[in-house]
Structure 1
Amino acid sequence: MSISRRGFLIGLPLFAAGCASGEFRTAQSNYGARPDEPFPIRAVPLSQIKPELRRREVEFDGDYPEGTIVVNTPERRLYYVLGNGRAIRYGIGVGREGLALRGNAVVGRKAEWPSWRPTDNMIRRDPRNRRYAGGVPGGPNNPLGARALYLYRNGRDTMFRIHGTNQPQTIGGAVSSGCIRMLNHDVIDLYERASVGTRVVVIQA
């Protein structure tokens, strides 16, 4: 074996370790504390987020224009298409069976630390939600979290949202009343990338 090849093989573990540590540092940065927010957000320990659900840039071969949001419901992933075969991938929580959004939509409006009230259907399904019928102001205890993107069709609110949550354990599951939930850190990142009018494609199978 030549010296140059031996040196290359010896260096491989160091290179791989460097890549791994670089990804770890990026993940730590992505989920660090956000003291600049109106309601400061604590860091999320990486132990609470499965590696495959952490935000990262990935290869993407879907035939969608740059700037499209693609929600892959079975996969529990949301992609923001960057173009040139790349996308930002986020882990998400989706609606329970029978409650998930189907088809396409657009971002009709956006809000930071939005207020929330349960829909009439939510109140019918669970009368305990009636106590929130007057609305819940934005803040750390609000179910919509730090940001919300409101999904519209034909100029009308579908009542589905892409929104934040402070419950990292629910990401990757089918747990919501139909909306698409993200970690607060991730929905802030998506909110800054997406604009009103952004196309949203929801894949169900």
Structure 2
Amino acid sequence: MNRRELLAGGAAAIASALLPVMGSAQTLPPRLQPAFVNLRHPLPAGEVHVFPDHFQLFWTLPNGQAWRYGIRVGRAGLYEPGTYYVGAKKEWPSWKPTPSMVEREPEKFAKYAEDGMPGGPNNPLGARAMYLFQPGRGDTFLRIHGTKDTNTIGRAVSNGCAGLTNEHVKLLYEQVPMKAKVVLYPKMVAGPSNV
């Protein structure tokens, strides 16, 4: 079985797994709910594409199809467009703020500067995290991760990362392999930081 067949076959399995999630009591509007979609402009299969102005992330499949997820993105000045790859994946990851986060908001992050926070439901990285790396740079400290705060989906509120609900990041985590290409597109619209 080649990679294309594996991706296509996996779509059916994920579709059946998504039915209970999509039918669950979510407060997200339909455009931010997970959906199996046909892309307007086909993208290479097996990649993650983040469109910050639409607060949507796409996991691409063969034949111009993809899984679409609603996300939150980095607030003004913290979102970093570029091309990355998944360099690490962790379930219920531990978390430690970056020095720049502590400098920006010491009242919020200084208490975690030394020891960080163990993984768990209250951890800022949520249920799953995919760590974004770049060649020659290594870990960029950008993540695609979960959050328990569903109200932040569809808004530009994070410290630069792309966040999904914990339910949804668990699904995406199973779809995206190590070394997968991740493209964070530039923000095109200046304006409010939420939908």
TM surpasses 0.5: yes
Q: Is the 8 A contact 1:31 1:185 kept in 2?
A: no
Q: Name the structure 1 match of 2:21.
A: 30
CA contact (8 A) 1:56 1:89 kept: yes
Unaligned runs of 5+ residues in structure 1 are 1-24, 33-43
Pairing 1:162–2:144 present: yes
- For these two proteins, the number of residue pairs brought into alignment is 169
Q: Which whole-Å CA distance do the structure 2 matches of 1:58 and 1:193 have between them?
A: 15
Aligned residue identity for 2:112: Y
Q: Does 1:203 align with 2:185?
A: yes
Query: Is the 8 Å Cα contact of residues 57 and 68 (structure 2) preserved in structure 1?
Result: yes
Q: How far apart, CA to CA, are the structure 2 residues paired with 1:65 and 1:194?
A: 14
Tell me if structure 1 keeps the 8 A contact 2:22–2:34. Answer: no
Offset of residue 28 of structure 1: 6.1
CA distance in structure 1 between the partners assigned to 2:68 and 2:87 by the alignment: 22
State the Cα distance separating 1:45 from its structure 2 match. 1.9
Matched, 1:127 2:106: yes
Cα separation, 2, equivalents of 1:62 and 1:130:
44
Q: Which residue of 2 aligns with 1:45?
A: 25
Higher-Rg structure is 1
Corresponding residue for residue 124 of structure 2? 143
Provide the rounded CA distance (Å) in 2 between the counterparts of 1:73 and 1:190.
17
Normalising to structure 2: TM-score of the pair? 0.82
TM-score by length of 1: 0.78
Query: Over the residues paired in the alignment, what is the CA RMSD in angstroms?
Result: 1.7
| 1:98-120 CA distance string (max 9 Å, x none) | 10021110000000000000000
Identity %: 44
How far is the alpha carbon of 1:85 from its aligned partner? 1.4
Task: Please give the residue correspondences for 1:179-198 in structure 2 after superposition, counting only pairs within 5 Å.
Answer: 179-198=161-180
Task: State the match for 1:12 in structure 2.
Answer: none
1:117 aligns with 96
Which whole-Å deviations, capped at 9, do the CAs of 1:146-187 have from their partners, x for residues lacking one?
000000001500000000000111000001011110011111
The DSSP-based 3-state class of the residue aligned with 1:190 is: helix
Query: Matches of 2:41 and 2:18 in 1, distance apart?
Result: 25
Moved over 3 A (4+): 25-28
Q: Secondary structure, in 3 states, of the residue corresponding to 2:145?
A: strand
**2:165 partner letter:** L
